[in-house]
């Protein structure tokens, strides 16, 4: 977004009003440094308006905060003029808008990372979002306006349906936003193909006794896509031997599941 742009999108996502930026504001505008922003009360009254910024009454000051009735203009946005702008009439709150400094241009690497345990993604894709200096994040699927569910371990859960036997024609796209207590904001667009984010779950491993020999039996995770012959997994098994206080590691790799079952590993 260039500084010369004067139109900033207003996101009206609820009626929750905040002064301390400890959650996402219900209504806010975001613009880059030195951009021009104009705020107005969405509700009109016949009585004169007054304005406050984070609870402190403000007056018009040319070049910094310019007030005209129910409109506030910030000619050159800076962190000093960010916060909760509220308009009042006869001592009653009329409307508010939170102003944030858009730092999207400073985000160089994607803060979003997504994984799936199976190609058959009629279940859940797990996404995380993290960026130094930011405390509050949210993520949504570009196909709709619903914010993704945040699990108890801080992961965003996305349900995506696709045909696991067909080539992916379009990537999955998620849109992320974040705010910080410093009244900074950024947004990100992250796209991926299911085939690129597959991270299989832990295999099912058991030790079986066959002909007085201990055999290591390795099976794909329960979540893995069937049939196994169409979606084979390559397993790498590490054995550690302890000899005279030294640990020696040996690695064994099986190219596919059928070979694994045909020639099971023997524990030495």
**CATH number for the domain including 147?**
2.60.40.10
Residue 186 lies in a domain: yes
Tell me: do 179 and 215 sit in the same domain: no
pLDDT tens sequence for the chain (268 residues): 333 322 233 333 333 444 456 678 888 999 999 999 999 887 766 778 889 999 999 999 898 999 987 889 999 999 999 999 999 988 888 899 999 999 999 998 999 999 998 887 666 799 999 999 999 999 999 887 788 888 888 899 988 887 778 888 889 999 999 999 899 999 999 999 988 999 888 888 888 877 777 777 888 888 888 888 888 888 777 777 777 778 777 776 764 333 333 344 444 3
What pLDDT was estimated at residue 112? 95
The pairing of beta strand 184-192 with beta strand 92-102: parallel
Tell me: do 122 and 74 sit in the same domain: no
Among 147, 177, 3, 10, residue whose Cα is nearest residue 75: 3
Q: What are phi and psi of 199, to 5 degrees?
A: -135, 95
Q: Are 30 and 101 in contact (CB under 8 A)?
A: yes
Tell me: do 79 and 97 sit in the same domain: yes
DSSP 257: H
Q: Which two tokens stand for residue 152?
A: 């108890």
What pLDDT was estimated at residue 90? 85
Q: What are phi and psi of 197, to 5 degrees?
A: -115, 10
Tell me: do 171 and 217 sit in the same domain: no
Residue 147 lies in a domain: yes
Tell me: do 182 and 219 sit in the same domain: no
Which residues span the domain enclosing 224?
Answer: 204-255
What pLDDT was estimated at residue 82? 95
What pLDDT was estimated at residue 101? 96
Give Cα 60 to chain centroid, integer Å: 38
What pLDDT was estimated at residue 233? 84
Helix H or strand E encompassing 66: strand 66-68
């Amino acid at each position: 977004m260039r500084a010369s742009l004067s139109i900033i999108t207003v996101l009206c996502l609820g009626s929750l009003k905040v002064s301390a930026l400890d959650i996402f504001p219900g209504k806010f505008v975001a613009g880059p440094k030195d951009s021009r922003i104009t705020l107005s009360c969405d509700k009109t009254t016949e009585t004169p308006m007054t304005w406050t910024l984070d609870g402190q009454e403000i007056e018009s000051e040319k070049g910094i905060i310019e007030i005209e009735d129910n409109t506030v203009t910030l000619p050159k946005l800076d962190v000093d003029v960010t916060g909760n702008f509220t308009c009042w009439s006869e001592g009653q709150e009329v409307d508010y808008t939170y102003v944030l400094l858009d730092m999207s241009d400073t985000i160089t690497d994607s803060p979003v990372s997504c994984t799936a345990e199976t190609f058959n993604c009629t279940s859940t894709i797990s996404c995380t979002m993290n960026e130094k200096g930011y405390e509050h994040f949210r993520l949504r699927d570009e196909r709709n306006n619903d914010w993704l569910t945040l699990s108890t371990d801080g992961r965003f859960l996305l349900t995506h349906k696709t045909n696991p036997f067909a080539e992916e024609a379009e990537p999955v796209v998620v849109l992320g936003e974040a705010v910080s207590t410093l009244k900074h904001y950024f947004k990100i667009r992250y796209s991926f193909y299911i085939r690129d984010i597959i991270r299989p779950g832990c295999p099912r491993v058991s030790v079986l006794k066959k002909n007085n020999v201990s055999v290591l039996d390795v099976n794909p995770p329960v979540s893995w896509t069937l049939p196994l012959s169409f979606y084979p997994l390559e397993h790498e098994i590490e054995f550690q031997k302890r000899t005279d206080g030294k640990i020696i590691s040996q690695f064994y790799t099986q190219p596919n599941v059928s070979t694994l079952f045909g020639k099971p590993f023997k524990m030495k």
